[in-house]
Copies of this chain bind each other. A is one copy, B any other.
Amino acid sequence: MVSASASVSAAAPIRLGMVGGGQGAFIGAVHRMAARLDGHYALVAGALSSDSERAKVSAAELGLDPERSYRDFEEMARQEAAREDGIEAVSIVTPNHMHYPAAKAFLEAGIHVICDKPLTSSLEDAKALVQVAKKSGRLFVLTHNYSGYPMIRQARRMVGEGDLGDIILVQAEYPQDWLAEPVEETGNKQASWRTDPQRSGVGGAIGDIDTHAFQLATFVTGLKTESVAADLDSFVPGRRLDDNAHIMLRFGASPNGRRAKGTIWVSQVAPGNENGLKLRVYGTKGGLEWKQEDPNYLWYTPLGEAKRLLTRAGVGANEAAAAVSRIPSGHPEGYLEAFATLYTEAAGAIRAMREGALPADLLLPTVEDGVEGMRFIQACVNSSRDDAAWTRLDSV
């Protein structure tokens, strides 16, 4: 799919715009590198900051035509839709509360949307966005980038093919330590909006990183989460959103009638953890373990046999992993490559849609996945308020 030799199509690059991602932002730059790596996009327009000076400088730095550096996303959607050479797709990389209005504006203008996670800042917005997206007929991609890692694709395929038997256990965790102190009070821009309910929504760590863990667990296992019992905390005094969550999960019945269980632990206050997303999946026939910080490895133990270290593009890698690998084993690919895979798959989908047909086997996270993530956030918040009582996702 993104195999090296085919990583750039003869076709002209897709014209891309960006909302958010001006100077000082983290994720905007990541989206741009992801869009560039395989050569499928050209960034040609942006509303890069709500601060007009910063927007202008950022646009200049990126070499955008000043005319196509917009004051806000409404103007951008309107004007780009009107141009013959207007953008075909837009990346939305703002704080969460802007996802919904921005995505709505572009979808309604007929422009494909690639949107950072979580989907929105409220479940209500999320549900509304599903309708907007459906009606638009445009592509909507939610950048749960970790699902782009080759060994995650490998794991998903292995589970799907029954290598693990019936899944019984899903253990996920995502500890960090960058919010161990009240850095939001000292001008850290990233911390500031992520701990602000107005901009983030009801979830702190849960919205920011737990949705990743949840999405990954779902993506790999194909299981549907039925209910959660969650205990949320704000360990840093004065913090307004959770910075740690302990969550127990109960999954819906598998085709064989098995009901898996699991836990997710996420934290932003655990010293010694940088970006420790980890997923372990156990079934009746085997187990898998994967760590985001060492993403080229996947531990696989068939029950009753020795543990094996599968490597990206190595001898144990399956077709699902190979399809999204760029370089040989032993040459580590990282976070940006996995992120780029989503962009590249989106490019394939956009090109297919030009011909009218959305590929059937797309693995890209959808707006519906985003709603499920928002349900998960809300159910965790509700559960925690109710002293960690079991809360069904379909009850919120």
Contact = CB atoms under 8 A, between A and B. Distances in A.
A112 B288 CA distance: 46
Residue of A177, A244, A294 contacting most chain B CB atoms (<10 Å): A177
A23 interface: yes
A105 interface: no
Contacts of A164: 271
Given A263-B246, A388-B229, A271 B62 contact: no
Contacts of A299: 272
A323 interface: no
Interface residues of A, number: 101
Nearest to A231: B248
A8 B231 contact: no
Contacts of A178: 328
A363 interface: no
A203 to B, nearest CB: 17
Contacts of A305: 315-316
A253 interface: no
B295 A332 contact: yes
A265 interface: yes
A36 interface: yes
A261 B246 contact: yes
Nearest to A171: B265
Interface stretch (A113-121, A128-136, A279-287): A279-287
**Copies in the assembly, this chain:** 4
A306 B301 contact: no
B37 A8 contact: no
A80 to B, nearest CB: 20
A302 B271 CA distance: 7
Interface in A351-396: 387-390
Interface stretch (A9-17, A82-90, A92-100): A9-17
Contacts of A301: 177, 271-272
A289 B300 CA distance: 19
Interface in A309-360: 309-311, 314-316, 326-337
A274 interface: yes
17 contacts: A4-B26, A8-B61, A26-B327, A26-B328, A32-B39, A36-B37, A248-B248, A263-B265, A271-B283, A272-B282, A272-B300, A294-B294, A306-B309, A306-B314, A334-B336, A387-B390, A388-B388
